[in-house]
Amino acid sequence: MTDIEQLSAKTEAFRAMHAGPGMLVMPNAWDAASAQRIVAAGFPAIATTSGGVAIALGYADHEAAPVDEMLAASARIARAVSAPVTVDFEAGYQLPPAEIARRLIEAGVAGMNLEESDHHGDAGLIPAETQAELLSAVKAEARALGVDLVLNARIDVFIRSEGTLETQLADGLRRARIYREAGADCIYPIALSDPAAIRAMVDAVGVINVTVRRGGPLSLDTAAECGALRVTYATSVFRETMAALDEIAADIHGSIPGTSR
């Protein structure tokens, strides 16, 4: 059973990590073991990757995995570390707001991502006003249960919308303002790497989460210079780890007597 008072305190500690002056940096975990290693390296909180969790469970990303299995994985991660855990809950798995809040609190997590991609229809992006209603309702339900979960509202226009960066940014800023007004604690414009556009987001809504990957177009130094207060790595750490496993497995297989590399 979740200790509500303890989880609420952990959630408020996690919220405070978004207040600066430095960045909250979280390489994303996909299971209890990866979370433990990330915490052991010195990171103060854990963010999960839905893609990594789903693939590790034998499913594709984008809500292809059963929600019960995803929540069970989240609960195992939360039990395995003392640090706050925030869960990539995709678009909510078609659950009502009250159930989203209840089940995440039961899993013992301090926060969540909710994204605006429509994984079950043809809309591409959920209308901003509809998404804002979901964000606001989840916030209200979580507060009613005694835990003000840290809500990271993901904006997907930079991966799902056609057009120029200028038109994507205009729509992204519109959505970001709507989601902040709906109660989002942080805005996550996934895949946005242009420094000027990141600064525009920061100026508009304050707390934003940017995506960094090792060797990618956006560095930690540039993210800090742009004013980002939260950094996550999406599936990149998981994929690097799987690539390392590929090499290890190939090396072992090639070492079997009578086996050609």
Q: Are 44 and 67 in contact, with CB atoms under 8 Å apart?
A: no
Q: Among 47, 49, 50, 52, which residue's Cα sits nearest to residue 26?
A: 47
Q: Which residues contact 69 (CB under 8 A, 6 or more apart)?
A: 57, 59
261 DSSP 8-state letter: -
Question: Alpha-carbon distance 8 to 30, whole Å?
Answer: 23
Question: Alpha-carbon distance 230 to 134, whole Å?
Answer: 23
Q: Are 189 and 181 in contact, with CB atoms under 8 Å apart?
A: no
List the chain pLDDT tens, one digit each, 261 residues: 799 999 999 999 999 999 999 999 999 999 999 999 999 999 999 999 999 999 999 999 999 999 999 999 999 999 999 999 999 999 999 999 999 999 999 999 999 999 999 999 876 999 999 999 999 999 999 999 999 999 999 999 999 988 999 999 999 999 999 999 999 999 999 999 999 999 999 999 999 999 999 999 999 999 999 999 999 999 999 999 999 999 999 999 999 998 765
Question: Alpha-carbon distance 178 to 191, whole Å?
Answer: 20
Question: Alpha-carbon distance 30 to 50, whole Å?
Answer: 8
Burial of 182 (0-12, 13-18, 19+ CB in 10 A): buried
Is 82 in a helix, a strand, or coil? coil
pLDDT on residue 64: 97
Question: Alpha-carbon distance 107 to 10, whole Å?
Answer: 13
Q: Which two tokens stand for residue 132?
A: 């804002």
209 DSSP 8-state letter: E
Where does 4-250 sit in CATH, by number?
3.20.20.60
pLDDT on residue 261: 58
> How far from 95 is each of 58, 104, 216, 248, CA to CA, in Å?
22, 12, 34, 40
If you compute the radius of gyration of the chain from its CA atoms, what whole number of angstroms results? Answer: 19
What residue segments make up the domains of the chain, in order of their start?
Answer: 4-250
pLDDT on residue 260: 65
Q: Which two tokens stand for residue 245?
A: 């496993």
pLDDT on residue 162: 87
pLDDT on residue 186: 99
pLDDT on residue 123: 67
